[in-house]
Amino acid sequence: MSDIDKASPSVDSEPLASQGEESALINAKIQLENIQALEYLNQLTEENGMLSDSYRTF
């Protein structure tokens, strides 16, 4: 193995558990952002009187 190879480990050398944890955190953040976006859209729709009770999501 050359000195360059030793100095820059590949991504595959990272344990799978930490990659999985990072992926789970990214997914949770995306889900939170989606919920916040839906809540905001519901608020705007309610303020404009365009949302009937049968279509409420929250």
Q: Is 43 helix (H, G, I), strand (E, B) or coil?
A: helix
pLDDT at 2 over 60: no
- Residue 18 confidence (pLDDT): 86
| Torsion region of 56: left, alpha or beta (phi above 0 gives left; psi -120 to 50 gives alpha) | beta
pLDDT tens readout for residues 4-58: 555 555 556 656 668 888 999 999 999 999 999 999 998 988 888 875 565 655 5
Quick one: DSSP state of residue 10?
A: -
Contacts (Cβ under 8 Å, ≥6 apart) of 51:
42, 45
- Residue 20 confidence (pLDDT): 85
